[in-house]
Amino acid sequence: MRLGTPANAQAPSPAPQKNPHKQIKTIVASGVAEVLLDRPKALNALNEPMVLALRRLYAEWDAAAATRSAPSSTAVAAIVLRAAPSVRDRAFCAGGDVKGVVQAAREGRGREALRFFEHEYACDWAIGGPLARDLERATPLSSSAAAASPASSPLPLRVALVDGIVMGGGVGLSLHGHAVVATERTVFAMPEVAIGLHPDVGAMARLMGGSGGGVLTPRVGLWLALSGARVGGAALKALGLATHCVPSSRLDEVVAALRSRAADKGAAPLAGDPAAMSEALAAFEFGSEQEAEEAAAAAAAGKGAMTARELRARLPLIERAFAAGEAKRRAGDPGGAVADVLDALSAAAAADGGDAASFAAATAAAIESGSALSAAVTLEYAHRVSAASTSSSSSGLLRTCLATDYGLVQRFVVAGAKEGDFWEGVRAKLIDRGTPAARWRYSHAREVPPEAVLGMFAPLDARDVERALRGAGIWADDEGAAAGRARL
């Protein structure tokens, strides 16, 4: 019998407990902390109070586990992050609330605008940083992965139930944990280039730093980063970015199963045994990739999101087209590299015919509709991360990406009127909704001068970057400080 089925006794869930910020609620019972994102009108888009509350919760549960200071009745073996019932059928988290950030920057409140990113990245580090150092993340988590991890690790397991939209800031909350549970309603994307930013929240460490056992490669990661492509739950698992794919109707049973495991094993043993958690999650998965795709089609969920079958069919074209810019990037011309990728996509659209041609044309159009400068910066960033991933630890790569993200947002956000397209992208895409269309700094990637891209990676306010991230807890040792000073 599967754990968590009605016959296995589901006691009524405790009532949610409100944190100081009403948009984050918690339910702690039987060794599992259920954390609910509850901002339905904004599809759980993150604001500063939300990320502050989340960071505090993870830090407190980690500290209690490390010191074993929590009473056994309230000890936390796993933290399950999900949407509250008010928004559960639509979104896990649609991103960050960037309209307020741009408004603050436009009004000269640059310190306030940057503070949101400091707290957001600190929250991402609180979720993923401690794990990246100590635990190997595999897809699916296996006994061998657990054996490679310190079995006595006291950290609560991190589980994200990414039912519905998961974009931008929501990716930072989910991808750096132990388990990412997708459903037939999942729609994943990193669409930052479309608003004149870059894929941030440490996501490049996952997109470019190696797959979790799926079909993700650096060129596929570059496709996701540049195009903002939307992928469904089964495709997310095929990429290795989700560890499990479960029917949305069974997510409550998933939480009950984890509570049952924690009750059987005890909080500390479960926290040190990700394989036991994975086994509990796997009991609820779709029987096959095809079954998950059929469920998505029947629910009419994830409209426009790529299926796993479509993804596998497009992989050769993606690998070929997104390799096209590598020579120019090595020559120091990232804008020209993006232009070469676009040319390769256009050639594929003209030559391949059928669905492949449509995909190539749509991908090129998606990149061209966004900021050419952001696309060039993203391509340069992606290649730097891919190179760094061969010599960096998991924690070092995530930490360095978060430091680089913070350095870049200083340019994009605070110096937005002079150096980037972020202010204009947010106005056009999120405030005025396309009327008038975005007036980007450069009309095409081939017009972006190399110095404009490389200047975005210059050590702007390097001491401020180090001070801010050290204060945010993103590092606490000399290795981390060195990563912050150098960035990528």
> Both 317 and 292 in a single domain?
no
> Both 313 and 283 in a single domain?
no
CA–CA gap between residue 241 and residue 222 (Å, rounded): 14
Last residue of a domain, one of 277, 298, 319: 298
For 16-30, 118-132, 413-427, which range has the lowest pLDDT when averaged over its residues? 16-30
Residue 280 counted as domain residue: yes
Task: Check which CATH number belongs to the domain holding 182 and give it.
Answer: 3.90.226.10
User: Which secondary structure element, helix H or strand E, spans residue 465, and what is its range?
Assistant: helix 462-471
User: Which secondary structure element, helix H or strand E, spans residue 25, and what is its range?
Assistant: strand 24-29
Give the model's pLDDT for residue 67.
79
What 8-state DSSP symbol labels residue 446? G
Residue 303 counted as domain residue: no
Q: Which residues contact 231 (CB under 8 A, 6 or more apart)?
A: 187, 188, 189, 224, 239, 305, 306, 311
> Both 233 and 157 in a single domain?
yes
> Both 69 and 142 in a single domain?
yes
* pLDDT for 417 beyond 90: no
Number of domains present in the structure of the chain: 2
Mean pLDDT over each residue of the chain, to the nearest integer: 85
Residue 165 counted as domain residue: yes
Give the model's pLDDT for residue 438.
93
> Both 274 and 394 in a single domain?
no
* pLDDT for 313 beyond 90: yes
Residue 314 counted as domain residue: yes
> Both 78 and 150 in a single domain?
yes
The predicted-structure confidence for 131-159, as pLDDT tens digits, reads as follows 765 543 333 333 333 333 343 446 899 99
> Both 274 and 355 in a single domain?
no
Alpha-carbon distances, residue 473 vs 127, 130, 386, 466, 476 (angstroms): 12, 11, 25, 11, 7
Residue 318 counted as domain residue: yes
Q: Which residues contact 80 (CB under 8 A, 6 or more apart)?
A: 32, 33, 34, 35, 159, 160, 161, 254, 255, 258
The predicted-structure confidence for 208-265, as pLDDT tens digits, reads as follows 976 578 999 999 999 999 999 999 999 999 999 999 999 999 999 999 999 999 888 7
Q: Which residues contact 99 (CB under 8 A, 6 or more apart)?
A: 426, 430, 431
> Both 145 and 257 in a single domain?
yes
Residue 224 counted as domain residue: yes
The full DSSP string for 291-333 is: HHHHHHHHTT-STTPBPHHHHHHHHHHHHHHTTTTHHHHHTT-
Give the model's pLDDT for residue 472.
62
- Burial class from Cβ neighbours inside 10 Å (0-12, 13-18, 19+) for residue 298 reads exposed
Residue 1 counted as domain residue: no
For 289-293, 435-439, 473-477, which range has the lowest pLDDT when averaged over its residues? 473-477
> Both 112 and 149 in a single domain?
yes
> Both 312 and 227 in a single domain?
no
Rg of the chain over Cα atoms, rounded to whole angstroms, equals 22
Last residue of a domain, one of 265, 298, 331: 298
The predicted-structure confidence for 364-388, as pLDDT tens digits, reads as follows 999 999 999 999 999 999 999 999 9
- Whether the CB-CB separation of 402 and 124 falls below 8 Å is answered with yes
Residue 137 counted as domain residue: yes
Give the model's pLDDT for residue 465.
58
> Both 315 and 397 in a single domain?
yes
Which residues span the domain enclosing 364? Answer: 308-486
Q: What are phi and psi of 418, to 5 degrees?
A: -110, -30
Last residue of a domain, one of 298, 316, 351: 298
Q: What are phi and psi of 149, to 5 degrees?
A: -90, 155
> Both 294 and 312 in a single domain?
no
Give the model's pLDDT for residue 473.
65
> What are 435's two structure tokens?
């009327």
